[in-house]
Amino acid sequence: MILGIETATTACAAGLAAGERRVESLLASDRRHVEVLVPGIQSLLAAWPATLGDVTRIVVDHGPGLFTGLRVGIATAVALAEATGAELVGVTSLEVYAAEAAARGVTGSVVAVVDGRRGELFAQSFTLGDAVVARDIPRVVRPRDLAEHWAGAAAPVTFVGDGAVRYASDLGAVPGATCLEVAWPSVETAMAIGAQRDPSPVHPLYLREADAVANFPTRPWP
């Protein structure tokens, strides 16, 4: 049985999948990850019915996204994997959004966008056809700059994700653009991706880290 954990946005969700059967539950939508995640997993298991011992694989969204959410989701996933011996698999919020767009029949250029806070987006481009193919790596970008880039590209594009909800006015104004408003990355989709992937250690994807780390070596020390 697969357990899926989603905490990359203000929403907290979890899911279970085994064979053809899958369930997903939105546990809270207002940043109460700490409070609702573990009890939520327990009630999902009880309703199935199953126990933690039945979980053989844990799929966790490791970002990019809401920092305070990700650390709860990832810490919980790592702890449960340690305790149960389940395999641990990470998926990114952005690839889950792209796969969600594909599941809804979108084809062509898709940009997955997660609200990065502080006026920025985490974004990654994909091409959707027979498969979901990443066109670049996840990056931090200003909504205006992303909109300008696609306005210049003059090609149809779909923006998908919570970032497309928050910045619908910037992104939706791009000629030929569609905003697919998906409020949080689907746990079912994450579990489907995670089922196909080799287990590996999972670390939060913060994206801003690479830029910021450069400032530290120059700090004076008393």
Partner 1 sequence: MSARRCANPADTVAAGRALAAWLVPGDVVVLTGPLGAGKTVFSTGVAAALGVRERVTSPTFTLVRPHACANDRGIVTLYHADLYRVESLDEAADLALGELVEESAVALIEWGERAEALWGPDHWEVRFTIEDDDVRELALTAPPGRAPVTGWAA
Q: How far is the CB of 144 from partner 1 (least distance, A)?
A: 9
Q: How far is the CB of 46 from partner 1 (least distance, A)?
A: 32
Nearest residue (CB) to partner 1, 196 versus 218: 218
How far apart CA 168 and CA 188 sit, in angstroms, is 25
Binders of partner 1 among residues 16 to 75 (CB under 8 A) are 66-68, 71
The token duo for 98 is: 């792209």
Tell me: does residue 95 bind partner 1 (CB under 8 A): no
Tell me: does residue 142 bind partner 1 (CB under 8 A): yes
Tell me: does residue 137 bind partner 1 (CB under 8 A): no
DSSP secondary structure letters along the chain: -EEEEE-SSS-EEEEEEETTEEEEEEEESSS-HHHHHHHHHHHHHHHTT--GGG--EEEEE--SS-HHHHHHHHHHHHHHHHHH--EEEEE-HHHHHHHHHHHTT--EEEEEEEEEETTEEEEEEEEESSSEEE-S--EEE-HHHHHHHHHHHTS-EEEESHHHHHTHHHHHTSTTEEEE--SS--HHHHHHHHHTS---------SSHHHHGGGSTT----
Q: Are 208 and 139 in contact (CB under 8 A)?
A: no
Tell me: does residue 118 bind partner 1 (CB under 8 A): yes
# of chain residues touching partner 1 (CB under 8 A): 20
How far apart CA 123 and CA 161 sit, in angstroms, is 10
Q: How far is the CB of 220 from partner 1 (least distance, A)?
A: 8
| Residue of 104, 117, 135, 197 that binds partner 1 (CB under 8 A) | 117
Tell me: does residue 116 bind partner 1 (CB under 8 A): yes
Q: How far is the CB of 137 from partner 1 (least distance, A)?
A: 16
| Residue of 20, 130, 198, 211 that binds partner 1 (CB under 8 A) | 211
Tell me: does residue 163 bind partner 1 (CB under 8 A): no
Tell me: does residue 184 bind partner 1 (CB under 8 A): no
Q: How far is the CB of 212 from partner 1 (least distance, A)?
A: 4
The C-alpha angle with vertex 72 and arms to 180 and 16, in degrees rounded to 5, equals: 65
Nearest residue (CB) to partner 1, 100 versus 115: 115
Q: How far is the CB of 7 from partner 1 (least distance, A)?
A: 13
Tell me: does residue 209 bind partner 1 (CB under 8 A): yes
User: Which positions touch partner 1 (CB under 8 A)?
Assistant: 66-68, 71, 116-120, 142, 206, 208-209, 211-213, 215-216, 219-220
